[in-house]
Structure 1
């Protein structure tokens, strides 16, 4: 089974102003990420507006990503569904489209309890032999895949990784104490990456890596090499922008940041709307400050 390590950007799905999937821009962004040194890509995450995409659109994005990656890095796909039946069906479909792994959300339609959460993940694992990353974001989805729940999943070999996004930095150590290296543990919060790295995470699912892939890979590598003094310098420059990754409008924020840094389309699909007024100016000023400092540093 796969062992994932390194920086895995949660890739934004590029759209036209009319709200259609822009495969040309999406492919270009994925190629840019891979050329900048990321270790994997995750298409159709929440940041990729998964829930607003039709199945044919998802297929087109997965197939495009696999074609662009061309075996250079693994391509994972977000799996975000309401019912177990549909989740199992789509897990098998996404493999047929070329996905090499799944980042699995809890049910989007119901806050499962301990027993139901275990059965959700076991059920999806039974429908595919693809390796699975658990997307643990109780702040957004109301379901916490706690160490007690993970203890009931240790005998499910398809589950290989946890994207840790509780915001509680102690959870990283708690999982290592409980399970050793049974699961790869990825930081899922951009503005906790240095802290998480100090505790031993093996990877990073990152939103702002869409914007600054080379710098984010460098930051992760500095931490992996325990060069924390150098890492903190770069972290201090990027953290104000990293805070944009944990806002409810992170899709709009990160797409606008991509537009500012390398001209990618900023459009989102309704009900998300383009940023306006003071909110837009705040994002622009935050990102522009980092752009200016990085330009001076070279």
Structure 2
């Protein structure tokens, strides 16, 4: 299956049961539900997928479950991250063997002081590990490494199967800066939920979305309104959605997004340590925001 690299692709959460084991049955059902509601693909094992807390065998089991769940209806993209380059390469090759259709390439975990030579060597090794089309994931806020537009162009010039960028710097100017250097050579995805309309207006063609895990119809509608230039509808839906979308931009985004999933009846709030579920006033405040938004859901715009 060819990846078109456009539209809404959820950064899928990883569901855990009461014993902190991966709930593969639910994840398969979640995949199908996301595609049924208009999502263009599935991205597993990313930051929101708690990839850093998953064992290698768990990652492979998740990828296989997602591929089986959606079949030929939508592409499955594997997030590739690891402490070492060797392990990341191993995961990239295994993802291809699992039937994944593409890779989302993350910078190294923990090693935030790497210079461009080291960053380039790491991601290049992953991109070269298979022939699968790849998306570069740039998130300087989370990972402390920043792929500058000039460096992204360099990677694109050297690697034909690098086809897209997930830009999560939260600076919309990066979208126009990358486009100015690479034109249509790379497809640009917004990776921060609360700048999606601005990012699309700047030229992004896709959205790696967090809240889509709980609200895929709303996410797809918002993206399409922005893409199609329906400004009034986009504004109204965005205004309603922003209190939830902002939950994607804070340190406890995983806990918050899973809490929204629980509130809509599609998942639970369980996370794997060192993360812990929200409690006390923090939980009460989050639930108040979520429930107020869900009660005001603008069905007329969907």
Query: Same fold, TM exceeding 0.5?
Result: yes
Corresponding residue for residue 149 of structure 1: 151
Establish whether residue 165 from structure 1 lines up as the match of residue 198 from structure 2: no
The SS at the match of 1:175 is helix
**Structure 2 spans left out of the alignment, 5+ residues:** none
Matching of residues 215-234 of structure 1 within 5 Å: 215-234=218-237
Query: 3-state DSSP class of the match of 1:186?
Result: strand
1:215-245 superposed Cα distances (whole Å, 9 cap, x missing partner): 1001111111111111010000010010100
Tell me the secondary structure at the aligned position of residue 79 of structure 2. Answer: strand
Inter-CA distance 92–151: structure 2 relative to 1 (3 Å threshold): same
- Residues of 2 paired with 1:292 and 1:88: CA distance? 45
TM-score, scaled relative to structure 2: 0.96
Deviation by residue 1:227-281 (Cα, 9 ceiling, x = unmatched): 1111010000010010100111111100011000124121111111111011111
Q: What is the CA-CA distance between 1:151 and the residue it aligns to? A: 2.4
CA distance in 1, matches of 2:123, 2:48: 21
Query: Does residue 46 of the first structure (1) align with residue 47 of the second (2)?
Result: yes
* From 266, 273, 276, the counterpart of 2:276: 273
Give the superposition deviation at 1:295.
Answer: 6.2
Write the distance in 1 (CA, Å) between the matches of 2:30 and 2:20.
17
Aligned pairs (5 A) from 1:25-64: 25-64=26-65
CA contact (8 A) 1:191 1:242 kept: yes
Contact 1:3/1:160 (8 A) holds in 2: no
> What stretches of structure 1 of length at least 5 have no aligned partner?
none
The CA deviation at 1:17 is 2.0
How many aligned residue pairs are there? 298
Task: Name segments (4+ residues, structure 1) moved above 4 Å.
Answer: 295-298
Mapped partners of 1:193, 1:254: distance in 2: 17
| TM-score, normalising length: structure 1 | 0.97
CA distance in 2, matches of 1:264, 1:108: 27
Q: CA deviation digits over 1:62-93, x for unaligned, max 9?
A: 01100011110100011111211111111101
RMSD after superposition: 1.3
CA contact (8 A) 1:118 1:152 kept: no
